[in-house]
């Protein structure tokens, strides 16, 4: 949650931003965002579910985004902004305020403890490189990039404009990262994949020559591991969103705008079609393809190609969603059904 903003804004300014209808004080100063339960003065929040209605009216003046159908109580200290979709409007307000806050803090900063390798290019406009950052040789750092403390970046790495790299991230040699990405703490990008050949002595390591390529507007959660390919590249395409604690194995191809929840694992050389959604703890075996806009429910295991786009899948191994629900309904009754069969056999 954004706790404070770079500047305060009037409720009428915010109303204009979201194309809303204002009821209350057009001059109310809004200087933070908050939850509806907090009753924080001079904050903005939204009313998105009936169970939160008891928290609307508190002791302090604040702004609340509400649906057009909501009728406020007269004489309240609250200023209401009626909108078509409260969550979309709140996201727009929060992003606008957050971006403004970042711009107010941003300037060209290179901390004295940072180390830059030979031939590395850093754009001159509004780049911030924190304490104890190590950047290898022949890297390219785009304009507006923020690299926070204790980040390691290997040789020949490219980081596109306005990407933010949080503390403790490790980016290995040759990784390419696009513009407007977010990489959260302790992610590891570009380590060798789990490639070994069995031999008389146990295992022989297979060297990995591929890259990791991350396109624009990708978000990578904390402790995510994305391995480089052995011969081909591992690719995370535009707009993909990866939650915390995900493993993307060597040579995988994650399609545009794919969303993957925490603790999922994508095996090597698998392809996830654009727009697909994978719930938490989903496992995908290697060398398969998942059709675009597929929905894989949490804890499912995908053991073969999914060829038909836009379908839901569930189970381990996964089957079509509604077939799984029917099958599970039968599974729950198996002890009862078995007892009935035994009774019939006794007769």
The answer to whether residue 122 sits within a structural domain is: yes
Residue 132: CATH number of its domain:
2.160.10.10
**Residues 215 and 286 occupy one common structural domain:** yes
The answer to whether residue 152 sits within a structural domain is: yes
**Residues 167 and 289 occupy one common structural domain:** yes
**Residues 261 and 160 occupy one common structural domain:** yes
pLDDT tens for 281-333 read 999 999 999 999 999 999 999 999 999 999 999 988 887 888 888 888 887 88
pLDDT value, residue 4? 42
pLDDT tens for 140-152 read 999 999 999 999 9
**Residues 138 and 263 occupy one common structural domain:** yes
Cα 137 off chain centre by:
30
What residues are annotated to the active site? 250
Residue 41: CATH number of its domain:
3.40.1390.10
Report, as an integer, the average pLDDT of 70-83: 93
Q: Which residue has the tokens 């933070």?
A: 32
Q: Where do runs of H (alpha helix) occur along the chain?
A: 11-17, 86-105, 321-332, 334-346
Rounded to whole angstroms, the Cα distance separating 166 from 184 reads: 5
**Residues 149 and 194 occupy one common structural domain:** yes
**Residues 216 and 259 occupy one common structural domain:** yes
The percentage of residues in the chain with a pLDDT greater than 70, rounded to a whole number, is 96
The answer to whether residue 293 sits within a structural domain is: yes
Is the confidence at residue 117, as pLDDT, over 70? yes
**Residues 158 and 302 occupy one common structural domain:** yes
pLDDT tens for 173-206 read 999 999 999 999 999 999 999 998 898 889 999 9
The answer to whether residue 347 sits within a structural domain is: no
Q: In what order do the strands lie in the sheet with 301-302?
A: 115-116, 134-135, 152-153, 170-171, 188-192, 225-228, 247-248, 265-266, 283-284, 301-302
**Residues 179 and 313 occupy one common structural domain:** yes
Is 86 within 8 Å of 69 (Cβ atoms)? no
The answer to whether residue 331 sits within a structural domain is: no
Cis before 301 (ω within 30): no
Domain with 276, as residue range(s), is 109-322
**Residues 78 and 204 occupy one common structural domain:** no
Domains in the chain, number = 2
The answer to whether residue 344 sits within a structural domain is: no
């Amino acid at each position: 949650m954004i706790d404070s903003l770079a500047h305060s804004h009037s409720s009428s300014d915010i109303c204009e931003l979201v194309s809303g209808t204002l009821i209350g004080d057009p001059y109310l100063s809004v200087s933070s965002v908050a939850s509806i339960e907090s009753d924080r003065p001079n904050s903005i929040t939204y009313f998105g579910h009936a169970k939160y209605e008891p928290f609307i009216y508190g002791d302090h003046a604040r702004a609340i985004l509400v649906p057009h159908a909501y009728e406020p109580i007269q004489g309240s200290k609250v200023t209401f902004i009626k909108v078509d979709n409260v969550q979309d409007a709140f996201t727009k307000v929060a992003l606008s305020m957050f971006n403004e806050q970042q711009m107010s803090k941003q300037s060209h900063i290179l901390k004295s403890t940072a180390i830059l390798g030979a031939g590395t290019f850093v754009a001159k406009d509004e780049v911030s490189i924190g304490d104890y950052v190590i950047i290898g040789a022949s890297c390219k750092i785009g304009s507006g990039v923020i690299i926070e403390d204790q980040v390691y970046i290997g040789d020949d790495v490219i980081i596109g404009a306005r990407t933010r790299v949080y503390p403790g991230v490790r980016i290995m040699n040759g990784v390419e990262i696009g513009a407007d990405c977010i990489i959260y703490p302790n992610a590891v990008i570009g380590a060798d994949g789990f490639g070994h050949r069995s031999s008389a002595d146990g295992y022989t390591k297979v060297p990995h020559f591929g890259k990791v390529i991350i396109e624009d507007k990708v978000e990578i959660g904390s402790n995510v591991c994305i391995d480089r390919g052995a011969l081909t590249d591992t690719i995370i395409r535009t707009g993909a969103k990866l939650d915390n604690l995900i493993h993307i194995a060597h040579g995988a191809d994650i399609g545009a705008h794919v969303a993957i929840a925490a603790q999922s694992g994508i095996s090597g050389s698998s392809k996830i079609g654009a727009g697909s959604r994978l719930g938490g703890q989903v496992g995908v075996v290697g060398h398969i393809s998942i059709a675009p806009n597929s929905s894989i429910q949490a804890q499912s295991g995908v053991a073969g190609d999914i060829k038909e786009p836009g379908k839901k899948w569930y189970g381990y191994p996964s089957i079509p969603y509604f077939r799984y629900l029917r099958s599970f309904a039968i599974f729950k009754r198996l002890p009862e059904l078995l007892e009935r069969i035994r009774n019939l056999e006794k007769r």
